[in-house]
Amino acid sequence: MRTCFILLFSLIFINVAAQQKPVDTMFDRQLEEVVVTATRSERKLSNVTVPTTLIAQKTIRQSGSLRLHDILGEQTGLFITQSFGRGVQMQGLSPDYTLILLNGEPLIGRTGGVLDLSRVAVGNIRRIEIVKGPSSSLYGSEALGGVINIITDQATGRKLQADLRYGRFQTIDASLNGTIRSGKLTAGGFVNHNSSQGYSLKPNSLTKTVEPFWRFTGQGNLAYQFNENSRFNLDLRYAKEQIQNSIAVQNLGTVVVSKGRETNQDLNILPSYSYRFNQRLKTSFRGYLSQFRSQQALEVKNLVQGYDDQFRQDFYRIENQTDIHISEKLETNVGGGFIKEYVASNRYDSLSTRRANQVGYVFFQQEWRPVERLTLIAGLRFDANQAYASVWSPKLSLQYRINESWSLTGSAGRGFKAPDFRQLYLNFTNVAAGSYSVFGSLVAKDEVLALQSAGQIDQLMPAFEKLADLKPETSTGLNAGIQYRYGSSGRVQLNIFRNDISNLILTDIIAFKTNGGQIFSYLNISEAFTQGFDVEAGWKFWKYLDVSGGYQFLSTADKAVLEQIDAGQVFKRDEQTGVSSRLTRSDYAGLPGRSKHMANLKFFYNPSSEKWFASARIVYRSGWGTTDLDGNGIINRDDEFAEGFALVNISGGYTVLPGLRVMAGIDNLFNYTDEVNLPGQPGINPYITLSADFGKIRNRSKTK
Amino acid sequence: MKMKTMTVAVLGIALLGTYACSKDDNSGNTNQPIQTVTASNIVADTILGIAPSGQPYGSGKFTFFSLERNTVVPSSDSATNKWDIGFRGTTIITNSGNSGPGQGGAFVFIGLFDDLLTIPADSVFRVDNAPSSYAIPTGSNRGWYVYNAPVNLVTPVPGRVLVIRTATGKYAKLEILNYYRGGVTPAATASDDDKLRNQRFYTFRYRFQPDGTKTF
């Protein structure tokens, strides 16, 4: 590990020579969109070799988005899932397999594999970059489906802005965003309050579908520019949310309501220092500390057992990345780092036992432009892990510009996701619902043997013998695309993708208790694929109307199910007669929770005076499999699907006075709800926002 | 609560009296004049209440059934060879082992009812050893059914045939078609109350071979 590090660094210094680098990123940013996530270094959006989407601050504001899932849910091929909070499904991969970064560092605190996107406020997000396809060659674990990088406002000058929004269900969202500059020091701050009284989709129910909640987010940024080559930056974030959680238990007439509460807290501290030796060599050191604290408590009531579950996760990382501009044709990025992670939970063993894991990693990326039209990028990352096997993650990508308008891209890469603490250490028994237990793979054997010697095990299943050290879940992803650009006013792109996922970790029954209860553990048992294509097009009409649209076609399958179907081992049951018959491939709808068709159409109208704006966005998703109802464990019958739907969101804003803006909007204009499958969709949701830009107001009073 | 118990019990008895059996046509097979019979609404200890643990409970009594005579057998005959299988909730017993004095037994065949024409020679019939094991394994996804917790429904696993050795040592094949009243599974969106009140009513079809051979 250490040897590797030294080798890489010597490589850097050997390669350094003096030559000018012509790219001035500050000016380019004004002219053309620049992204950083695709290559971990600044690139023009039109030059990247992998499918990349950029969402600008203006789009986020004009869409009336408050939380991260609001804006991601309107993007092509992304679907917001509603289990364990809001997760994002990308290229048909579950939320577990998309890495969420905040200013380049991973957000932690996943529940059931899902990082709840509603914990992230978007009020001070400058832009969001979405990279589709496996990206573990740069980012390591979790980057199977892709990477979403949220980049917050960096202080540039003097600014103070306030927003206040009121919406249905007594939703209040208030933000204050300010930056200040004093010589070489810039500082910025953002605070946000978000609360709602929740709502009920079921009339006359004792508990609400979404219970009242409040959230607070505070963010700070401090930057010191020592000189033009040397810069220190500090990003801070603290977020807290509290959600009421009532549970009603019914026993043939008698109802008991128990009050509960969930509290989640995030802390992120990210100091970084970058130094430019010369035009050809730049290095940056980053430190990252993140803590996640979660508590779910329910008071004890007659019939209902109380609980007080706590989960604490700590993530520490140090990292260096060095960028070497060897020549116009060659660009190198190398880096490495060390991660230490701790988790404690009373669902594992006890809060006092901290489970630890550490990872050391190095990565290398080489960009080569043999001819002007062709860009080739090769990347490789090695992760050495204490708790599971080491992983190599390679990636190759290219872009070929046919001419001014047309270009081709292609990429092939590997992604992986490390087994998480839950899959390794969970120790959970649900006494109420059938007395089932779930044990992490590292503790399962001992727990089952202990139960067996206590005479509580009826039968060991074949899966018990298969319990082994979990391997990381891996994917191989292929993306091939064609892009057409018409100046700055139009673009059309098509991307075809295929992801093959191996070693998928799923729960399987390892034993049965004498009382009939099932015991589950985690095993690398499954292989799956997702494939399809997406098309995106955007056109600007008369310089003030932006029309864009997107479509994704998706097909997925569990490979083991396909094999069983081919072997005639999968059956279905006729709903009317109850008679079984053999299932064919065409009956099989693939992985649950995936829509075959997704589409969106968006209009943004921004007259050149910028005095007002209007937008309308339509997001469509076809039906998706929810739960197996005919006992074969797969989705094949019509009633096993949730109904497809389209949401229409509109918004508009008007500048009353310079610096003072009123915005109003209606989300879900046609009041679509689905109580069972979309509990997080409240129906029609009108809102009004007042925004004040104190800088502009002051300027105006000065000119008077 | 007492009143409610009574009502459910009376309802149960009433249904016991009105269970229906129908016979399908068996054209095209003249060598074997045996028929596929469908039994509907066989009550299997309907739910009387829910224990504080959250588990529903009934009276604990089995409903006994004779495949040979296609009829429900009274509880008083439980210690005889007059019955072949018994139902209580999701548990199905055979007249074997410690469940009854008969020569019964069973195993679960994976495949289609119509495809099982001869019981394979290497088949192993299991016998009951209550309460720890049964010829037809109990529990979700172990024997004939799967319990879907999120929607609170019990569904027979498709492609599972219960191969039964009767009390008198003859053979039958049996497919559970439904676990709910009238052979209609409540909608996933139905209330838990509906799902509990209407469960434990078996609909199944079977084919009994009276000549003692293993072919159907």
DSSP string, A612-663: EEEEEEEEEE--EE----SSSSS--SGGGEEPPEEEEEEEEEEEEETTEEEE
Instruction: Give chain A's length.
Output: 704
**How confident is the model over A166-224, as pLDDT tens digits?**
999 999 999 999 999 988 999 999 999 999 999 988 877 778 888 999 999 999 999 99
A569 contact residues in B (CB cutoff 8 A) = 110, 159
Angle at A456 between CA A454 and CA A459, to 5 degrees: 125
CA distance A208 to chain B (A): 17
A459 contact residues in B (CB cutoff 8 A) = 133
Q: What is residue B4's predicted lDDT score, i.e. its pLDDT?
A: 41
Pairing of strands B160-165, B36-43: unpaired
Per mean pLDDT, which range of A221-230, A282-291, A386-395, A400-409 is the poorest? A386-395
Q: What is residue A700's predicted lDDT score, i.e. its pLDDT?
A: 63
**How confident is the model over A590-603, as pLDDT tens digits?**
999 999 999 999 99
Look at A14 and A371; give whichever has higher pLDDT.
Answer: A371
* Location of structure tokens 């046509």: B25
CA distance A547 to chain B (A): 40
A272 alpha-carbon distance from chain centroid: 23
**Does residue A605 fall inside a structural domain?**
no
CB atoms within 10 A of CB A694: 15
CB atoms within 10 A of CB B169: 12
Interface confidence: ipTM more than 0.85: no
* Location of structure tokens 């009242």: A212
Partner-chain contact A433 B139, CB within 8 Å: no
CA dist A680 and A118 (Å) reads 11
Q: What is residue B139's predicted lDDT score, i.e. its pLDDT?
A: 82
Domain that holds residue A377: 2-541
Cα torsion angle, A664, A668, A670, A673, sign: negative
Which CA distances in Å does A522 have to A419, A435, A449, B80, B159? Answer: 9, 18, 17, 46, 27
Q: What is residue A701's predicted lDDT score, i.e. its pLDDT?
A: 63
* Token pair listed for A272: 């970084």
A516 contact residues in B (CB cutoff 8 A) = 138-139
Beta-bridge partner residues of A397: A377, A411
Q: Which of residues 544-563 of A touch B (CB under 8 A)?
A: none
Partner-chain contact B188 A639, CB within 8 Å: yes
Angle at A114 between CA A596 and CA A383, to 5 degrees: 105
Q: What is residue A22's predicted lDDT score, i.e. its pLDDT?
A: 36
CA dist A559 and A502 (Å) reads 10
Partner-chain contact A629 B151, CB within 8 Å: yes
Quickly list DSSP for A205-274: -SS-SB--EEEEEEEEEEEEEEETTEEEEEEEEEEEEEEEEEEEEEETTEEEEEEEEEEEEEEEEEEEEE
How much is the mean pLDDT over chain A? 89
CA dist A521 and A443 (Å) reads 9
Average pLDDT for residues A549-575, to the nearest whole number?
94
pLDDT band of A240, cuts 50, 70, 90: very high
Average pLDDT for residues A619-630, to the nearest whole number?
92
CA distance B159 to chain A (A): 5
Q: What is residue A253's predicted lDDT score, i.e. its pLDDT?
A: 61
**Does residue A604 fall inside a structural domain?**
no
Average pLDDT for residues A395-416, to the nearest whole number?
95
Sheet holding A105-106, edge to edge: A52-56, A125-132, A146-152, A98-102, A105-106
CA dist A116 and A110 (Å) reads 7
Look at A612 and A33; give whichever has higher pLDDT.
Answer: A612
Partner-chain contact B112 A581, CB within 8 Å: yes
Amino acid in position A32: E
CA dist A667 and A659 (Å) reads 25
pLDDT band of A241, cuts 50, 70, 90: very high
Look at B150 and A98; give whichever has higher pLDDT.
Answer: A98
Say whether pLDDT at A484 is over 90. yes
Q: Which of residues 120-179 of B touch A (CB under 8 A)?
A: 132-133, 138-142, 145-151, 153, 155-160, 175, 177-178
Average pLDDT for residues A518-542, to the nearest whole number?
92
Q: What is residue A251's predicted lDDT score, i.e. its pLDDT?
A: 60
Average pLDDT for residues A472-489, to the nearest whole number?
92
Extended beta strands in A279-390, E state: 281-298, 307-325, 330-345, 355-368, 374-385
Look at B17 and B112; give whichever has higher pLDDT.
Answer: B112
Cα torsion angle, A90, A92, A96, A99, sign: negative
Peptide bond just before A462 cis, omega within 30 deg: no
**Does residue A520 fall inside a structural domain?**
yes
CB atoms within 10 A of CB B52: 11
Q: What is residue A248's predicted lDDT score, i.e. its pLDDT?
A: 75
CA dist A507 and A633 (Å) reads 13
Amino acid in position A567: A
Greatest Cα pair distance, chain B, in angstroms, is 56
Contact B36, B203 (CB under 8 A): no
In angstroms, the first-to-last Cα distance of chain A is 66
Q: Which of residues 262-321 of A touch B (CB under 8 A)?
A: 303
Say whether pLDDT at A660 is over 50. yes
Look at A280 and A699; give whichever has higher pLDDT.
Answer: A280
Q: What is residue A201's predicted lDDT score, i.e. its pLDDT?
A: 87
How many contiguous H segments (helices) and E segments (strands) does chain A have?
Answer: 10, 38
Which CA distances in Å does B162 have to A565, A568, B111, B206, B212? Answer: 22, 19, 10, 9, 17
How much is the mean pLDDT over chain B? 84
A379 alpha-carbon distance from chain centroid: 22
The domain segmentation of chain B, as residue ranges, is 2-209
**Does residue A204 fall inside a structural domain?**
yes
Residue A601 backbone dihedrals phi, psi, to 5 degrees: -140, 125
Partner-chain contact A632 B112, CB within 8 Å: no
* Token pair listed for B38: 């469908």
Q: What is residue A120's predicted lDDT score, i.e. its pLDDT?
A: 96
Which CA distances in Å does A547 have to A60, A127, A150, A692, B107? Answer: 16, 19, 24, 28, 63
Say whether pLDDT at A16 is over 70. no
Query: In chain B, which residue's Cα lies nearest the Cα of A457?
Result: B132
Of the candidates B139, B111, B110, B157, the one whose C-alpha atom is nearest the C-alpha of residue A628 is: B157
Tell me whether residue A408 is exposed, middle or buried, using C-beta atoms within 10 angstroms of its C-beta: 0 to 12, 13 to 18, 19 or more: middle
Q: What is residue A15's predicted lDDT score, i.e. its pLDDT?
A: 37
Say whether pLDDT at A527 is over 90. yes
CA dist B24 and B44 (Å) reads 24
A458 contact residues in B (CB cutoff 8 A) = 132-133
Write a three-state SS string for B22-88.
EECCCCCCCCCCCCEEEEEEEECCCCCEECCCCCEECCCCCEEEECCCCEEECHHHCCCCCCCEEEE
Contact A505, A473 (CB under 8 A): yes
Of the candidates A543, A454, A579, A462, the one whose C-alpha atom is nearest the C-alpha of residue A509 is: A462
Amino acid in position A540: K
Say whether pLDDT at B128 is over 70. yes
Look at A454 and A700; give whichever has higher pLDDT.
Answer: A454
Q: What is residue B28's predicted lDDT score, i.e. its pLDDT?
A: 42
Beta-bridge partner residues of A465: none
**Does residue A250 fall inside a structural domain?**
yes
Say whether pLDDT at B158 is over 80. yes
Q: Is B198 on the interface with A (CB under 8 A)?
A: no
Which CA distances in Å does B163 have to A149, A161, B87, B168, B216? Answer: 58, 75, 16, 15, 11
Average pLDDT for residues A555-569, to the nearest whole number?
94
**How confident is the model over B81-91, as pLDDT tens digits?**
999 999 999 99
**Does residue A615 fall inside a structural domain?**
no
Q: Within A65-206, where are the H helices?
A: 68-72, 136-139
**Does residue A672 fall inside a structural domain?**
no
Please report, for the domain that includes residue A181, its CATH number. Answer: 2.40.170.20
Angle at A25 between CA A23 and CA A31, to 5 degrees: 100
Partner-chain contact A571 B112, CB within 8 Å: yes
**How confident is the model over A296-336, as pLDDT tens digits?**
888 877 666 778 889 999 999 999 999 999 998 999 999 99
**What percentage of chain A exceeds 70 in pLDDT?**
93
Beta-bridge partner residues of B20: B40
**How confident is the model over A121-173, as pLDDT tens digits?**
999 999 999 999 999 999 999 999 999 999 998 877 788 999 999 999 999 99
Domain count, chain A: 1
**Does residue A629 fall inside a structural domain?**
no
**How confident is the model over A351-364, as pLDDT tens digits?**
888 889 999 999 99
Greatest Cα pair distance, chain A, in angstroms, is 87
Say whether pLDDT at A7 is over 70. no
CA dist A105 and A108 (Å) reads 9
**How confident is the model over A39-93, as pLDDT tens digits?**
998 888 888 999 999 999 999 999 999 999 999 999 999 999 998 899 999 999 9
CA dist A303 and A305 (Å) reads 7
> Which residue out of A461, A513, A580, A637 would a mutagenesis test of the B interface target, given it has the greatest number of B Cβ atoms within 10 Å?
A580
Q: What is residue A435's predicted lDDT score, i.e. its pLDDT?
A: 75
